[in-house]
Structure 1
Amino acid sequence: MKRSLLAGACALALLVSPVAANEFEAPLKELANSEIIAIAAAPEVIAAVKAQNAETAGYDQATIDAADATWREEVSASSSPMIDAVLARPASSFLAAKKDGSSGLYTEIFVMDAKGLNVAQSDVTSDYWQGDEAKWQETYGKGADSLHLSDVELDESSQTYQSQVSVPVVDENGDVIGALTVGVNVEYLMM
Protein backbone atom coordinates (compact mmCIF):
# COMPACT_ATOMS: atom_id res chain seq x y z
CA MET A 1 0.00 0.00 0.00
CA LYS A 2 2.82 2.41 0.86
CA ARG A 3 4.39 1.84 -2.58
CA SER A 4 1.02 2.54 -4.24
CA LEU A 5 0.60 5.83 -2.36
CA LEU A 6 4.14 6.87 -3.18
CA ALA A 7 3.64 6.03 -6.84
CA GLY A 8 0.44 8.08 -6.83
CA ALA A 9 2.22 11.04 -5.29
CA CYS A 10 5.00 10.74 -7.87
CA ALA A 11 2.47 10.63 -10.68
CA LEU A 12 0.80 13.75 -9.31
CA ALA A 13 4.15 15.53 -9.19
CA LEU A 14 4.80 14.55 -12.80
CA LEU A 15 1.39 15.90 -13.83
CA VAL A 16 1.92 19.23 -12.12
CA SER A 17 5.32 20.02 -13.61
CA PRO A 18 6.81 19.20 -16.99
CA VAL A 19 9.66 16.76 -16.61
CA ALA A 20 12.71 16.41 -18.79
CA ALA A 21 14.82 13.27 -18.85
CA ASN A 22 17.71 15.22 -17.34
CA GLU A 23 15.86 15.29 -14.00
CA PHE A 24 16.26 11.50 -14.03
CA GLU A 25 19.57 11.49 -15.88
CA ALA A 26 21.72 9.87 -13.18
CA PRO A 27 19.46 6.90 -12.40
CA LEU A 28 18.60 6.41 -16.09
CA LYS A 29 22.30 6.37 -17.03
CA GLU A 30 23.02 3.92 -14.23
CA LEU A 31 20.23 1.66 -15.47
CA ALA A 32 21.46 2.00 -19.07
CA ASN A 33 25.02 1.09 -18.14
CA SER A 34 24.00 -1.97 -16.17
CA GLU A 35 20.74 -3.76 -16.94
CA ILE A 36 19.88 -2.21 -20.31
CA ILE A 37 23.29 -2.65 -21.89
CA ALA A 38 23.23 -6.27 -20.69
CA ILE A 39 19.95 -6.84 -22.55
CA ALA A 40 21.47 -5.30 -25.69
CA ALA A 41 24.48 -7.62 -25.37
CA ALA A 42 22.43 -10.81 -25.00
CA PRO A 43 23.26 -13.47 -27.60
CA GLU A 44 19.56 -13.68 -28.57
CA VAL A 45 19.51 -9.98 -29.41
CA ILE A 46 22.80 -9.92 -31.30
CA ALA A 47 21.88 -13.00 -33.37
CA ALA A 48 18.47 -11.55 -34.26
CA VAL A 49 19.95 -8.20 -35.34
CA LYS A 50 22.64 -9.89 -37.43
CA ALA A 51 20.06 -12.07 -39.16
CA GLN A 52 17.80 -9.14 -39.98
CA ASN A 53 20.71 -6.94 -41.11
CA ALA A 54 21.55 -9.62 -43.67
CA GLU A 55 17.93 -9.60 -44.82
CA THR A 56 17.40 -5.83 -44.97
CA ALA A 57 20.83 -4.67 -46.17
CA GLY A 58 19.52 -3.97 -49.67
CA TYR A 59 16.35 -2.15 -48.61
CA ASP A 60 15.94 1.31 -50.09
CA GLN A 61 13.75 4.04 -48.60
CA ALA A 62 10.75 3.05 -50.71
CA THR A 63 10.92 -0.52 -49.39
CA ILE A 64 11.27 0.75 -45.83
CA ASP A 65 8.31 3.12 -46.24
CA ALA A 66 6.15 0.34 -47.71
CA ALA A 67 7.01 -2.01 -44.83
CA ASP A 68 6.28 0.75 -42.31
CA ALA A 69 2.91 1.45 -43.95
CA THR A 70 2.01 -2.24 -43.79
CA TRP A 71 2.94 -2.39 -40.11
CA ARG A 72 0.90 0.71 -39.27
CA GLU A 73 -2.14 -0.78 -41.03
CA GLU A 74 -1.72 -4.06 -39.15
CA VAL A 75 -1.60 -2.35 -35.75
CA SER A 76 -5.37 -1.84 -35.85
CA ALA A 77 -6.29 -4.70 -38.20
CA SER A 78 -7.78 -8.05 -37.24
CA SER A 79 -5.03 -9.82 -39.15
CA SER A 80 -1.40 -8.88 -38.59
CA PRO A 81 0.99 -11.36 -40.22
CA MET A 82 3.96 -8.98 -40.26
CA ILE A 83 3.57 -8.03 -36.60
CA ASP A 84 2.87 -11.64 -35.60
CA ALA A 85 6.07 -12.78 -37.33
CA VAL A 86 8.17 -10.28 -35.34
CA LEU A 87 6.45 -11.16 -32.05
CA ALA A 88 7.02 -14.88 -32.71
CA ARG A 89 10.80 -14.50 -32.87
CA PRO A 90 12.83 -15.97 -29.98
CA ALA A 91 14.38 -12.54 -29.37
CA SER A 92 10.89 -11.08 -28.86
CA SER A 93 10.15 -13.77 -26.26
CA PHE A 94 13.46 -12.92 -24.57
CA LEU A 95 12.54 -9.21 -24.45
CA ALA A 96 9.03 -9.94 -23.17
CA ALA A 97 10.51 -12.03 -20.36
CA LYS A 98 12.89 -9.20 -19.43
CA LYS A 99 9.99 -6.74 -19.37
CA ASP A 100 7.77 -9.10 -17.36
CA GLY A 101 10.61 -9.74 -14.90
CA SER A 102 11.15 -6.03 -14.25
CA SER A 103 8.17 -5.70 -11.87
CA GLY A 104 6.81 -2.77 -13.86
CA LEU A 105 10.06 -0.81 -14.27
CA TYR A 106 10.15 -1.54 -18.01
CA THR A 107 7.07 -0.64 -20.04
CA GLU A 108 8.42 -1.82 -23.40
CA ILE A 109 11.61 -3.14 -24.96
CA PHE A 110 12.39 -3.26 -28.66
CA VAL A 111 15.39 -3.81 -30.88
CA MET A 112 16.16 -2.17 -34.23
CA ASP A 113 18.47 -3.19 -37.06
CA ALA A 114 21.00 -1.16 -39.08
CA LYS A 115 18.14 0.46 -41.03
CA GLY A 116 16.13 1.35 -37.91
CA LEU A 117 13.55 -1.40 -38.55
CA ASN A 118 12.04 -3.44 -35.72
CA VAL A 119 13.81 -6.74 -35.14
CA ALA A 120 12.18 -7.91 -31.90
CA GLN A 121 9.93 -6.41 -29.26
CA SER A 122 8.14 -7.10 -26.02
CA ASP A 123 5.02 -5.26 -27.19
CA VAL A 124 3.68 -3.98 -30.50
CA THR A 125 5.10 -0.61 -31.48
CA SER A 126 2.99 1.89 -33.41
CA ASP A 127 5.40 1.84 -36.35
CA TYR A 128 7.98 -0.47 -37.90
CA TRP A 129 10.62 2.06 -38.92
CA GLN A 130 12.36 3.85 -36.04
CA GLY A 131 15.19 5.15 -38.24
CA ASP A 132 13.68 8.62 -38.43
CA GLU A 133 13.60 8.97 -34.64
CA ALA A 134 16.22 10.12 -32.11
CA LYS A 135 16.19 6.76 -30.30
CA TRP A 136 17.88 5.19 -33.33
CA GLN A 137 19.67 8.21 -34.76
CA GLU A 138 21.42 9.03 -31.48
CA THR A 139 22.64 5.48 -30.88
CA TYR A 140 23.18 3.60 -34.14
CA GLY A 141 26.17 5.09 -35.88
CA LYS A 142 27.16 7.21 -32.90
CA GLY A 143 29.50 4.65 -31.39
CA ALA A 144 29.44 1.75 -28.97
CA ASP A 145 29.23 4.06 -25.93
CA SER A 146 26.37 6.22 -27.19
CA LEU A 147 23.19 6.73 -25.19
CA HIS A 148 19.90 8.50 -25.82
CA LEU A 149 17.47 9.53 -23.07
CA SER A 150 14.10 10.86 -24.17
CA ASP A 151 12.05 13.38 -22.25
CA VAL A 152 9.58 11.91 -19.81
CA GLU A 153 6.15 11.53 -21.37
CA LEU A 154 2.86 9.91 -20.51
CA ASP A 155 2.71 6.65 -22.45
CA GLU A 156 -0.94 6.28 -23.44
CA SER A 157 -0.82 2.51 -23.85
CA SER A 158 0.68 1.78 -20.42
CA GLN A 159 -0.63 4.91 -18.63
CA THR A 160 2.80 5.45 -17.08
CA TYR A 161 5.29 8.26 -17.22
CA GLN A 162 8.28 6.93 -19.06
CA SER A 163 11.57 7.89 -20.58
CA GLN A 164 12.88 5.85 -23.47
CA VAL A 165 16.47 4.80 -22.86
CA SER A 166 18.29 3.74 -26.01
CA VAL A 167 21.67 2.07 -26.40
CA PRO A 168 23.50 0.54 -29.35
CA VAL A 169 23.58 -3.19 -30.01
CA VAL A 170 27.24 -4.10 -30.41
CA ASP A 171 28.59 -7.34 -31.88
CA GLU A 172 31.56 -9.39 -30.68
CA ASN A 173 33.92 -7.23 -32.78
CA GLY A 174 32.76 -4.02 -31.11
CA ASP A 175 30.82 -2.87 -34.17
CA VAL A 176 27.45 -1.18 -33.71
CA ILE A 177 24.91 -3.33 -35.58
CA GLY A 178 21.61 -1.99 -34.26
CA ALA A 179 19.97 -0.30 -31.29
CA LEU A 180 17.78 -1.21 -28.33
CA THR A 181 15.17 0.98 -26.65
CA VAL A 182 13.65 0.40 -23.23
CA GLY A 183 10.68 2.36 -21.92
CA VAL A 184 11.45 3.05 -18.25
CA ASN A 185 8.65 3.88 -15.83
CA VAL A 186 10.28 6.84 -14.05
CA GLU A 187 7.91 6.59 -11.12
CA TYR A 188 9.90 3.52 -10.08
CA LEU A 189 13.10 5.58 -10.11
CA MET A 190 11.62 7.93 -7.50
CA MET A 191 11.01 5.17 -4.97
Structure 2
Amino acid sequence: MHKHVLALAAMAGLSLATPPAAADEFSQALSDYYDSQIATWANDPALIAAVREQNAARSGLTQAEIDAMDGEWRSQVGAADAPAIDPVLNNPAADFLRARVEASGGVITEAFTMDANGLNVAATAVTSDMWQGDEAKFTETYTRGAGATHLGDVEFDESTQTYQGQISVTLTDPETGAALGALTVGINAEALM
Protein backbone atom coordinates (compact mmCIF):
# COMPACT_ATOMS: atom_id res chain seq x y z
CA MET A 1 0.00 0.00 0.00
CA HIS A 2 1.35 3.40 -0.91
CA LYS A 3 2.31 5.94 1.73
CA HIS A 4 -0.09 8.60 0.51
CA VAL A 5 -3.10 6.26 0.81
CA LEU A 6 -2.21 5.45 4.41
CA ALA A 7 -1.53 9.08 5.27
CA LEU A 8 -4.82 10.24 3.76
CA ALA A 9 -6.75 7.53 5.58
CA ALA A 10 -5.08 8.48 8.85
CA MET A 11 -5.71 12.21 8.38
CA ALA A 12 -9.33 11.60 7.48
CA GLY A 13 -9.80 9.31 10.47
CA LEU A 14 -11.09 6.60 8.18
CA SER A 15 -10.71 2.91 8.64
CA LEU A 16 -8.48 1.43 6.01
CA ALA A 17 -10.24 -0.92 3.63
CA THR A 18 -7.43 -2.47 1.67
CA PRO A 19 -8.31 -3.07 -2.00
CA PRO A 20 -7.59 -6.67 -3.11
CA ALA A 21 -4.63 -5.73 -5.34
CA ALA A 22 -3.02 -3.67 -2.59
CA ALA A 23 -3.68 -6.44 -0.06
CA ASP A 24 -1.98 -8.97 -2.34
CA GLU A 25 0.94 -6.59 -2.86
CA PHE A 26 1.32 -6.04 0.89
CA SER A 27 0.97 -9.77 1.66
CA GLN A 28 3.78 -10.49 -0.79
CA ALA A 29 5.92 -7.75 0.73
CA LEU A 30 5.26 -9.16 4.23
CA SER A 31 6.16 -12.65 3.09
CA ASP A 32 9.34 -11.45 1.39
CA TYR A 33 10.35 -9.46 4.47
CA TYR A 34 9.82 -12.49 6.68
CA ASP A 35 11.96 -14.66 4.40
CA SER A 36 14.79 -12.15 4.10
CA GLN A 37 14.83 -10.52 7.54
CA ILE A 38 12.91 -12.44 10.21
CA ALA A 39 13.30 -16.14 9.41
CA THR A 40 16.96 -16.04 10.45
CA TRP A 41 16.06 -15.14 14.05
CA ALA A 42 12.47 -16.32 14.48
CA ASN A 43 13.47 -19.44 16.40
CA ASP A 44 16.41 -17.92 18.28
CA PRO A 45 17.50 -19.90 21.36
CA ALA A 46 16.60 -16.97 23.67
CA LEU A 47 13.02 -16.99 22.41
CA ILE A 48 12.72 -20.77 22.55
CA ALA A 49 14.13 -20.91 26.09
CA ALA A 50 11.69 -18.26 27.34
CA VAL A 51 8.67 -19.98 25.79
CA ARG A 52 9.76 -23.40 27.09
CA GLU A 53 10.15 -21.98 30.60
CA GLN A 54 6.72 -20.34 30.55
CA ASN A 55 5.09 -23.47 29.09
CA ALA A 56 6.50 -25.48 31.99
CA ALA A 57 5.39 -22.91 34.57
CA ARG A 58 1.90 -22.47 33.13
CA SER A 59 0.90 -25.93 31.97
CA GLY A 60 -2.56 -26.92 33.09
CA LEU A 61 -4.03 -23.41 33.35
CA THR A 62 -7.79 -23.31 33.02
CA GLN A 63 -9.53 -20.83 30.73
CA ALA A 64 -10.83 -19.04 33.83
CA GLU A 65 -7.25 -18.59 35.09
CA ILE A 66 -6.13 -17.35 31.67
CA ASP A 67 -9.04 -14.89 31.56
CA ALA A 68 -8.15 -13.63 35.04
CA MET A 69 -4.52 -13.08 33.98
CA ASP A 70 -5.70 -11.26 30.87
CA GLY A 71 -8.03 -9.07 32.96
CA GLU A 72 -5.22 -8.20 35.34
CA TRP A 73 -2.98 -7.28 32.37
CA ARG A 74 -5.67 -5.08 30.80
CA SER A 75 -6.23 -3.27 34.09
CA GLN A 76 -2.51 -2.43 34.25
CA VAL A 77 -2.08 -1.11 30.70
CA GLY A 78 -0.87 2.49 31.12
CA ALA A 79 -0.37 2.16 34.89
CA ALA A 80 2.92 3.12 36.54
CA ASP A 81 2.81 -0.03 38.63
CA ALA A 82 2.30 -3.04 36.36
CA PRO A 83 3.43 -6.26 38.04
CA ALA A 84 1.66 -8.45 35.44
CA ILE A 85 3.20 -6.61 32.48
CA ASP A 86 6.73 -5.83 33.68
CA PRO A 87 8.08 -9.42 33.56
CA VAL A 88 6.99 -9.72 29.91
CA LEU A 89 8.78 -6.49 28.96
CA ASN A 90 11.89 -7.07 31.05
CA ASN A 91 13.50 -10.38 30.26
CA PRO A 92 16.29 -11.58 27.94
CA ALA A 93 13.85 -12.63 25.19
CA ALA A 94 12.21 -9.16 25.25
CA ASP A 95 15.67 -7.58 25.06
CA PHE A 96 16.46 -9.79 22.06
CA LEU A 97 13.23 -8.72 20.34
CA ARG A 98 13.89 -5.02 21.07
CA ALA A 99 17.30 -5.36 19.42
CA ARG A 100 15.59 -6.78 16.30
CA VAL A 101 13.11 -3.86 16.27
CA GLU A 102 15.95 -1.34 16.55
CA ALA A 103 17.99 -3.08 13.84
CA SER A 104 15.04 -2.93 11.42
CA GLY A 105 15.36 0.82 10.90
CA GLY A 106 11.67 1.47 11.54
CA VAL A 107 10.22 -1.41 9.54
CA ILE A 108 9.40 -3.52 12.62
CA THR A 109 7.09 -1.71 15.03
CA GLU A 110 6.69 -4.41 17.67
CA ALA A 111 7.40 -8.05 18.37
CA PHE A 112 6.13 -10.47 20.96
CA THR A 113 6.10 -14.18 21.73
CA MET A 114 3.31 -16.32 23.10
CA ASP A 115 3.34 -19.61 24.96
CA ALA A 116 1.25 -22.73 24.31
CA ASN A 117 -1.72 -21.03 26.03
CA GLY A 118 -1.49 -17.94 23.84
CA LEU A 119 -0.22 -15.81 26.75
CA ASN A 120 2.51 -13.22 26.19
CA VAL A 121 6.01 -14.36 27.15
CA ALA A 122 8.20 -11.52 25.88
CA ALA A 123 7.27 -8.24 24.22
CA THR A 124 9.00 -5.11 22.99
CA ALA A 125 6.15 -2.91 24.20
CA VAL A 126 2.86 -3.26 26.06
CA THR A 127 0.19 -5.08 24.06
CA SER A 128 -3.46 -4.26 24.64
CA ASP A 129 -4.07 -7.69 26.15
CA MET A 130 -2.03 -10.60 27.48
CA TRP A 131 -4.01 -13.45 25.96
CA GLN A 132 -3.65 -13.79 22.20
CA GLY A 133 -5.10 -17.32 22.17
CA ASP A 134 -8.37 -16.29 20.54
CA GLU A 135 -6.72 -14.29 17.74
CA ALA A 136 -5.57 -15.43 14.29
CA LYS A 137 -1.95 -14.61 15.17
CA PHE A 138 -2.14 -17.62 17.50
CA THR A 139 -4.92 -19.82 16.12
CA GLU A 140 -3.44 -19.75 12.60
CA THR A 141 0.08 -20.58 13.80
CA TYR A 142 0.55 -22.52 17.02
CA THR A 143 -2.55 -24.67 16.61
CA ARG A 144 -1.47 -25.58 13.05
CA GLY A 145 2.00 -26.73 14.09
CA ALA A 146 5.53 -26.29 12.83
CA GLY A 147 5.99 -24.15 9.75
CA ALA A 148 2.64 -22.34 10.04
CA THR A 149 2.53 -18.63 9.27
CA HIS A 150 -0.21 -16.01 9.30
CA LEU A 151 -0.07 -12.67 7.51
CA GLY A 152 -2.40 -10.09 9.01
CA ASP A 153 -4.24 -7.35 7.14
CA VAL A 154 -3.10 -3.75 7.31
CA GLU A 155 -4.83 -2.17 10.30
CA PHE A 156 -4.30 0.78 12.58
CA ASP A 157 -2.61 -0.60 15.68
CA GLU A 158 -3.44 1.26 18.88
CA SER A 159 -0.34 0.11 20.77
CA THR A 160 2.12 1.29 18.10
CA GLN A 161 -0.04 4.12 16.64
CA THR A 162 0.86 3.03 13.09
CA TYR A 163 -0.77 1.27 10.20
CA GLN A 164 0.77 -2.15 10.32
CA GLY A 165 0.48 -5.69 9.17
CA GLN A 166 1.57 -8.58 11.31
CA ILE A 167 3.59 -11.64 10.49
CA SER A 168 2.97 -14.49 12.91
CA VAL A 169 4.79 -17.81 12.94
CA THR A 170 4.86 -20.94 15.04
CA LEU A 171 7.86 -21.19 17.38
CA THR A 172 9.17 -24.72 17.10
CA ASP A 173 11.23 -26.86 19.45
CA PRO A 174 14.50 -27.46 17.55
CA GLU A 175 14.95 -30.84 19.27
CA THR A 176 11.51 -32.34 18.66
CA GLY A 177 9.95 -30.23 15.90
CA ALA A 178 6.88 -29.70 18.11
CA ALA A 179 5.08 -26.37 18.30
CA LEU A 180 6.00 -24.44 21.47
CA GLY A 181 4.27 -21.11 20.96
CA ALA A 182 4.12 -18.28 18.46
CA LEU A 183 5.93 -15.11 17.46
CA THR A 184 4.21 -12.02 16.08
CA VAL A 185 6.12 -9.22 14.37
CA GLY A 186 4.36 -5.94 13.55
CA ILE A 187 5.47 -4.37 10.28
CA ASN A 188 5.06 -0.66 9.51
CA ALA A 189 3.05 -0.65 6.26
CA GLU A 190 4.43 2.72 5.19
CA ALA A 191 8.05 1.70 5.75
CA LEU A 192 7.67 -1.60 3.89
CA MET A 193 5.89 -0.37 0.78
TM-score normalised to structure 2 length: 0.88
Question: Which range is displaced more, 117-126 or 33-42?
Answer: 33-42
In the alignment, does 2:173 pair up with 1:174? no
Give a deviation string over 1:68-115, Cα, whole Å, max 9, x none.
011011113231012111111110111111111111101100000000
Q: Which position in structure 2 is the counterpart of 1:4? A: none
Q: Give the unaligned 5+ runs of structure 2.
A: none
Contact 1:40-1:46 within 8 A present in 2 as well: no
In the alignment, does 2:188 pair up with 1:189? no
Please tell me the residue identity of whatever aligns with 1:151: D
Q: Which position in structure 2 is the counterpart of 1:18? A: 17
Tell me the SS of whatever aligns to 1:65. Answer: helix
Identity %, equivalent residues: 50
- Identify which of 109, 112, 125 aligns with 1:110: 112
In the alignment, does 2:8 pair up with 1:9? no
Give a deviation string over 1:165-187, Cα, whole Å, max 9, x none.
10110111211110000000111
Tell me the SS of whatever aligns to 1:80. Answer: coil
Q: Which position in structure 1 is the counterpart of 2:83? A: 81
The offset of 1:13, in angstroms, is 6.2
The offset of 1:32, in angstroms, is 2.1
Please give the residue correspondences for 1:67-78 in structure 2 after superposition, counting only pairs within 5 Å.
67-78=69-80
Contact 1:37-1:167 within 8 A present in 2 as well: no
Q: Which position in structure 1 is the counterpart of 2:66? A: 64
The offset of 1:14, in angstroms, is 5.8
Structure 1's 103 and 52: CA in aligned 2 closer, same or farther, altered over 3 A? same
Tell me the SS of whatever aligns to 2:183. Answer: strand
Contact 1:71-1:127 within 8 A present in 2 as well: yes
What is the root-mean-square deviation in Å for CA atoms of aligned residues?
1.9
Q: Distance in 2 between matches of 1:153 and 1:86?
A: 24
Question: Which range is displaced more, 108-117 or 73-82?
Answer: 73-82
Please give the residue correspondences for 1:91-110 in structure 2 after superposition, counting only pairs within 5 Å.
91-110=93-112
The offset of 1:135, in angstroms, is 0.4
Q: Would you say how many aligned residue pairs link Structure 1 and Structure 2? A: 184
In the alignment, does 2:47 pair up with 1:45? yes
Structure 1's 13 and 140: CA in aligned 2 closer, same or farther, altered over 3 A? same
Contact 1:40-1:170 within 8 A present in 2 as well: no
Tell me the SS of whatever aligns to 2:54. Answer: helix
Contact 2:110-2:160 within 8 A present in 1 as well: no
Give a deviation string over 1:41-78, Cα, whole Å, max 9, x none.
10100000000000111111011011101101111323
Q: Which position in structure 2 is the counterpart of 1:34? A: 36
